[in-house]
Amino acid sequence: MTARPFIRTEILEQLRVKLRRGEPLLLGGAGIGLVARVLDRSGVDVIMAYNTGPFRMDGHGSLAGYLAYGDSNRITMDLGSRILPVVKSTPVVAGIGAADPYRDPIDLIGTLRRQGFSGITNVPTAGLYDGRFRQHIDETGLGYPREIELIRACREQDVFTVAYAFTPEEAAMMAEAGADVIGAHVGLTTGGDVGARTALDVAAACEATQAMVSAARNARPDVMVVAHGGPFENADAVIHAYQETDVDGYLGASSIERLPVERAIGEVVTEFQRMRLRKRSSMTTGTTADQVVTS
């Protein structure tokens, strides 16, 4: 049975209690039910569910979710049917592609809430695009301004939101729109088989993150901001964000599900491969090398 969705005030109080204790917030992405189940049992604060997760956990790069391979909002709804039944005590936030040409994204807020999601985020997001393509999708009503409208509509409906921002200007606009948490996104996460090969170094990522924190808090002092992406792929990197910026925590997707799975399976396989059978006589091992017949 799917747990009831949390209301916005419940989530905010839980997050603020942690911050008052001096503990960083931790939000984690889940692209399959098993990951969501483990995150729920492990005490993560918020589970993030959106269309890039299934691609990621199928062994493809997260950016497959930003290309024309599938219906992003349908993928998220289908993902919800797999992860919501196994999550018992953690708010799950759904991604909405705000520029969906065949669905009203504002109507999707209610649809996803009724399905059991506790909040909304702006994924897939046009913020990952830049250059002329970004300019054109923004100009033609398919870009980031639609995501700001989505977050503002959620606030008007008193729905909890996590909003990804990529620049200080976007962070300020999302704060003004009413985002509860802003994910200060510094690029595709590095590491593993399908992670980014190029990224800001940790020092530059901290600088970019702090610029977004400052802009968001100048726009609205009570907004929470978490680090995300780029070189922040593990605890050794994230601790620099905690020590060198004023973030309230960390949001991990690849770093929470894909990279740990890659490492864990590799380590387990290696452990099994290191084992050796006890010595046995040829009578108990079947054929010997001399008995092998080649054709």
Which tens digit of pLDDT belongs to each residue from 183-226?
Answer: 999 999 999 988 888 999 999 999 999 999 999 999 999 999 99
Q: What is the pLDDT of residue 294?
A: 46
Q: What is the pLDDT of residue 4?
A: 78
Backbone angles phi, psi at 21, to 5 degrees: -85, 0
Query: How far apart are the C-alpha atoms of 28 and 253, rounded to whole Å?
Result: 6
Position 290 in a domain: no
Q: Supply the mean pLDDT for the chain.
A: 94
The whole-model pTM stands at: 0.92
Q: Is 162 helix (H, G, I), strand (E, B) or coil?
A: strand
Grade residue 281 by pLDDT with cuts at 50, 70 and 90. Answer: confident
The stretches of the chain forming alpha helices (DSSP H) are 8-20, 33-42, 52-57, 72-83, 105-115, 131-139, 144-156, 168-177, 202-219, 235-244, 259-274
Position 129 in a domain: yes
171 touches 225 (CB < 8 A): yes
Position 288 in a domain: no
Which tens digit of pLDDT belongs to each residue from 112-149?
Answer: 999 999 999 999 999 999 999 999 999 999 999 999 99
Which tens digit of pLDDT belongs to each residue from 32-76?
Answer: 999 999 999 999 999 999 999 999 999 998 999 999 899 999 999
Grade residue 253 by pLDDT with cuts at 50, 70 and 90. Answer: very high
Q: What is the CATH number of the domain that holds 72?
A: 3.20.20.70
Q: Is the pLDDT of residue 3 over 90?
A: no
Position 280 in a domain: no
Q: What is the pLDDT of residue 53?
A: 94
Grade residue 287 by pLDDT with cuts at 50, 70 and 90. Answer: low
Backbone angles phi, psi at 70, to 5 degrees: 110, 165
pLDDT, mean of residues 64-92: 96
Range(s) of the domain holding residue 186: 8-267
Position 295 in a domain: no
Grade residue 283 by pLDDT with cuts at 50, 70 and 90. Answer: low
Position 212 in a domain: yes
Q: How far is CA 287 from CA 284, 290, 294, in A?
A: 9, 8, 13
Q: Count of domains in the chain?
A: 1
Tell me, rounded to whole angstroms, the distance of Cα 147 from its chain centroid: 17
**Percent of the chain whose predicted confidence (pLDDT) is above 70:** 94
pLDDT, mean of residues 86-107: 96
Position 276 in a domain: no
First to last CA, the chain: 59
Position 49 in a domain: yes
